[in-house]
Structure 1
Amino acid sequence: MGPAHGLAPTKTVVVLGGAYGGARAAQLIAAGLPDGWRIFLIDRNSHANHVYILPRLAVLAGHEHKAFIPYDNIFNAPENAKTDAKYTFIQAQIQSLSTHSVKLSRAFPEHGIETDTLHFDYAVYALGSHLPSPLNLWNSTPDEKSPLHAYGGTKAESIAWIKRKQHTIEDAGSILIVGGGALGIQFATDIAAVYPGKAVTLLHSRHRLLPRFDNAMHTEILQALESADVEVILGERLDLATAKPGARVVHTQSGREIRADLILLCTGQRPNTEFLRELDARTVDPGTALAHVLRTMQLAPAPGPAETQGTPASDPPSDNADALAADFAQIALQAEGADDTDVSTASDSDESAATDLEEATSYPHIFVVGDAADAFGAIPAGHNAYYQAEVAARNVLRLIRRSAEEHDANAPLERYAPGAPAIKVSLGLKKNVYEVAGVVGVAVETRDDLNAAAMWSYFGSPVTDEADMYR
């Protein structure tokens, strides 16, 4: 957006990715952005994918539209401000990231972006992770066999993809689910509930389900799987060489045979940090693919062998953190490799006093939140992304105020610390097991759609009637 003649150029914040963390960062920054600034939220989808209910909707027909929440009011703007150029959502694919610019799949002259390159003063990187293939709408087909078709990230395409997935699962006489995290557990119990005649097998490489949680979680889940006639194989891995196209029988590495017309690989998700690695390979761990961040959520090159960093003190839990943890736990289902969740305990008024000096970084203006961040033990989860985004957003606004030399210009940046685990896993259509604040419990699942409407308000689209979710 070019400035008018003689006026100062507009300063820009970009938020890359509009899921749980990116949406929260965009909303907070937009609410506190001073005059002379603008914010762009950029996502390749036209809508937020409510990924925690996708496994259920991929099995149970009739609710597909509820998982795809439009971004048209993501900033929660009042009706008379929705056309304000200060707050803009753009559907585009990111091509590359530079220190102060992002290259997009095309120009957006209607939004003042005359070329495919958008320059920014601050960025929040919230691109999450690559989902396992049973839920990866961009890089897999519903039957995981057919050639990929062009996909543009629209709601109509997403609904069609999920419906084809439902047919694939319905048509399979026997199904092998590889991975015993919450994603695999939900697929297994939902398929068994909707199609009680199918042969369903859950294969997990560990001897315990959800090992980072209380053993009572494992016991309850195992009993539910066995009650649903799901065959559970623990402590073994799939021999991928036997899982060839057209194969109806596969083997574990120990030689055990498993009949499978369909294999659902629920074996984890890899952080989407390729653009950060291309920007500066020192910022991304080559083993985990997670981005190194400071407690302020600022991107930073990882310390070398000769460098050391003190361990900052953790902040005590705050009441609002516990409350939101419980809310997210009611819809959160973690994928394999993310079997437990941690709740951020940082808040605007609850800052660590571990140091009076902020750590130096080559990228003080770039923040990373959610699945892409190596956030001090916080496991990838929607509520963790939410709290990390809050820390990042408030720090962006503080840095902006510093640059303007406002009255609180010397306020220290906020610091993030993870807190206690929280998770809920549905066990078929009518039951769930959860752990919140150290308490394990079992509850009745009252909604087939896992209360999908509850998340729509979070993305600026409150639901007053179920028909609202067809938008």
Structure 2
Amino acid sequence: MKTAIFLGAAYGGSRAAQILATRIPKGWRILLIDRNSHANHVYVLPRFSVLPGHEHKAFIPYHSVFQGAKDDILVLHATVLSLTAKSVTLSRSFPEHGIATTEVSYNYAIYALGSHLPIPLNLWGTWKDRAYDGTKAKAIQWLKEKQKVIKQAESVLVVGGGALGIQFATDIAAVHPSKKITLLHSRNKLLSRFEEGMHPEILQSLQSLGIEVILGERLDLSSADKYNEAGQRVVRTLSGRDIATDLMLLCTGQTPNTALLKDMDANTVDMQTGLARVLRTLQLSNLETDPDTLPAALAKISLDGSADPQQDIATVETHYPHIFAIGDAADAFGALKAGHNAYFQGEVAARNILRLINDRDEPLELYTPGPAAIKVSLGLTKGVYQVDGVIGVNNYGVEDLQAPAVWAYYGIQVEGEDELHD
């Protein structure tokens, strides 16, 4: 049976699958595959690992992603073990759905496995002597254990002044105002990728919460295993400054989940960044050529000078025209690693698959990132944002960061608290 698979069912993967499910011709099967039983709304995880009472809102069931789904449109809870150009191997079979073996062949694939967060928020990497199965119950248990660890620490060192570090530090300070909180950042400006005005607003908010902010100093990781007589971890910056703390939270960036692509074809992954190489069509590429220079390059190598740059960028310059990569795993031309960008990339990839399936005589859609946009909480009620180059501050935040509103993207209109425990 002709099959389109979606590896990863978070923001981008689910959106892409939704589009294909409504427009794909008859005779096709759609498989949305994820190792988690519920979508993890990662934006709220820092808050919910500090503040109790809202954990269940972060994990959204997949049962309504496809409204009125048919037998040939499935959500599979399984881990992808390996990937080839023609098939995937899963951690389990699904005989109840006619999938008798763990190997599943496909015609088109969207790789949306994202990235994994640093240890403080990596649900799959911080269980000691216990297996994590990706279920909502286990994830809630994990958050509650994190809450206890943070509550017990009298002092906390947050390393990294990106959005994650800022949100972690301000949430801890707001929920536990008596704690000594230190934020260490290697650059001289917080959120340096964004407009200049973001830094002073964030810095003022951090300091007003009693957080000590150390800028322009980098942690010496070789010092991380030293302890003082009080049992505190003592770390040292490269400049020689010693910092004693009960708990250290490393918030120094995300790591792309591209090992499966690298095992399939190492040339599809950039060795320095770990990101999947893609063309502007978001098709997986195994060439290092900058897609922006392809038209000129192709014109030079064409014997008759008649190369069609649009078509060549779309299909010729990749060995994998049927595989697309989106979201945090993809090197998407400077796009911010964020859920809203994965969502829009999923739409582009899905529309391009439909064009290929329908064999339309038109070029594939090219992806261009929008302007950088971000919203960062600065404690339980205050937040700062940048949209279209405009910086703003608001003070009407809520404890759960409006997590239930995101459930609508997965087909669930929340009408009561009980639904959030599903």
Under a length normalisation based on structure 1, what TM-score does the superposition of the two structures give?
Answer: 0.83
Which of 397, 407, 410 matches 1:446? 397
Question: Retained in 1: the 8 A contact 2:109–2:322?
Answer: yes
Q: Which amino acid is 2:219 matched to?
A: L
1:231-258 superposed Cα distances (whole Å, 9 cap, x missing partner): 0001111122222176432221212121
Q: Which amino acid is 2:165 matched to?
A: G
> What does residue 163 of structure 1 align with?
144
Confirm or deny that 1:177 pairs with 2:176: no
State how far apart, in whole Å, the 1-side matches of 2:225 and 2:311 are: 56
State how far apart, in whole Å, the 2-side matches of 1:157 and 1:432 are: 30
State how far apart, in whole Å, the 1-side matches of 2:280 and 2:403 are: 33
Q: Which amino acid is 1:112 matched to?
A: G
> What does residue 357 of structure 1 align with?
311
Question: Retained in 2: the 8 A contact 1:139–1:148?
Answer: no
State how far apart, in whole Å, the 2-side matches of 1:291 and 1:52 are: 23
State how far apart, in whole Å, the 1-side matches of 2:374 and 2:261 are: 29
Superposed, which structure 2 residues align to 1:49-68 within 5 Å? 49-68=40-59
Confirm or deny that 1:39 pairs with 2:50: no
Q: Classify the secondary structure of the residue corresponding to 1:152.
A: coil
> What does residue 390 of structure 1 align with?
347
Superposed, which structure 2 residues align to 1:23-34 within 5 Å? 23-34=14-25
**How far has the Cα of 1:426 moved from its partner?**
0.5
State how far apart, in whole Å, the 1-side matches of 2:328 and 2:287 are: 17
Q: Which amino acid is 2:248 matched to?
A: I
**How far has the Cα of 1:270 moved from its partner?**
1.0
State how far apart, in whole Å, the 1-side matches of 2:102 and 2:271 are: 29
> What does residue 373 of structure 1 align with?
330
> What does residue 120 of structure 2 align with?
134
> What does residue 198 of structure 1 align with?
179
Question: Retained in 2: the 8 A contact 1:13–1:38?
Answer: yes
Confirm or deny that 1:289 pairs with 2:274: yes
State how far apart, in whole Å, the 1-side matches of 2:296 and 2:394 are: 38
Superposed, which structure 2 residues align to 1:17-416 within 5 Å? 17-75=8-66, 77-78=67-68, 82=69, 84-141=70-127, 147-244=128-225, 247-303=232-288, 309-310=294-295, 355-359=309-313, 360=316, 361-402=318-359, 409-416=360-367
1:321-379 superposed Cα distances (whole Å, 9 cap, x missing partner): xxxxxxxxxxxxxxxxxxxxxxxxxxxxxxxxx94433211111000000111111112
Cα RMSD after superposing both structures: 1.7
Q: Which amino acid is 2:387 matched to?
A: V
State how far apart, in whole Å, the 1-side matches of 2:80 and 2:310 are: 37
State how far apart, in whole Å, the 2-side matches of 1:262 and 1:445 are: 30
Q: Which amino acid is 1:66 matched to?
A: K
**How far has the Cα of 1:311 moved from its partner?**
8.6
Q: Which amino acid is 1:201 matched to?
A: T
Question: Retained in 1: the 8 A contact 2:226–2:235?
Answer: no
State how far apart, in whole Å, the 2-side matches of 1:311 and 1:416 are: 19
**How far has the Cα of 1:435 moved from its partner?**
0.5
**How far has the Cα of 1:41 moved from its partner?**
0.3
**How far has the Cα of 1:215 moved from its partner?**
1.3
Q: From the superposition, tell whether residues 13 and 437 of structure 1 become closer, same or farther in structure 2 (CA, over 3 Å).
A: same
Question: Retained in 1: the 8 A contact 2:268–2:277?
Answer: yes
Question: Retained in 2: the 8 A contact 1:284–1:302?
Answer: no
Q: Classify the secondary structure of the residue corresponding to 1:447.
A: coil
After TM superposition, where is structure 1 displaced by more than 4 Å over at least 4 residues in a row? none
Q: 197-206 or 412-421, which moves further after superposition?
A: 412-421
State how far apart, in whole Å, the 2-side matches of 1:390 and 1:218 are: 33
Q: 411-420 or 123-132, which moves further after superposition?
A: 411-420
Q: Classify the secondary structure of the residue corresponding to 1:421.
A: coil
Under a length normalisation based on structure 2, what TM-score does the superposition of the two structures give?
Answer: 0.93
Q: From the superposition, tell whether residues 371 and 275 of structure 1 become closer, same or farther in structure 2 (CA, over 3 Å).
A: same
Q: Which amino acid is 2:98 matched to?
A: G
Q: 62-71 or 231-240, which moves further after superposition?
A: 231-240
State how far apart, in whole Å, the 2-side matches of 1:304 and 1:410 are: 26
**How far has the Cα of 1:445 moved from its partner?**
3.1
Unaligned residue ranges in structure 1 (runs of 5+): 1-9, 142-146, 313-353, 403-408
> What does residue 349 of structure 1 align with?
none
Q: Which amino acid is 1:357 matched to?
A: Q
1:57-90 superposed Cα distances (whole Å, 9 cap, x missing partner): 0111000000000111112x13xxx4x2121000
State how far apart, in whole Å, the 2-side matches of 1:167 and 1:245 are: 23
> What does residue 302 of structure 2 align with?
none
State how far apart, in whole Å, the 2-side matches of 1:115 and 1:423 are: 43
Unaligned residue ranges in structure 2 (runs of 5+): 298-307
**How far has the Cα of 1:209 moved from its partner?**
0.3
Q: Classify the secondary structure of the residue corresponding to 1:309.
A: helix
Question: Retained in 1: the 8 A contact 2:226–2:234?
Answer: no
1:378-434 superposed Cα distances (whole Å, 9 cap, x missing partner): 1211111111110000011111111xxxxxx21221110012111011100110000
* Identity, % of aligned positions: 59
Q: Classify the secondary structure of the residue corresponding to 2:294.
A: coil
Superposed, which structure 2 residues align to 1:414-429 within 5 Å? 414-429=365-380
Which of 422, 429, 435 matches 2:386? 435
1:296-338 superposed Cα distances (whole Å, 9 cap, x missing partner): 1100112369x952499xxxxxxxxxxxxxxxxxxxxxxxxxx
1:80-101 superposed Cα distances (whole Å, 9 cap, x missing partner): xx4x212100000111000110
Q: From the superposition, tell whether residues 303 and 240 of structure 1 become closer, same or farther in structure 2 (CA, over 3 Å).
A: closer
State how far apart, in whole Å, the 2-side matches of 1:220 and 1:114 are: 56
Q: Classify the secondary structure of the residue corresponding to 2:219.
A: coil
Q: From the superposition, tell whether residues 363 and 24 of structure 1 become closer, same or farther in structure 2 (CA, over 3 Å).
A: same
State how far apart, in whole Å, the 1-side matches of 2:355 and 2:7 are: 20
Question: Retained in 2: the 8 A contact 1:140–1:148?
Answer: no
Number of residues of Structure 1 aligned to a counterpart in Structure 2? 404
Q: Classify the secondary structure of the residue corresponding to 2:321.
A: coil
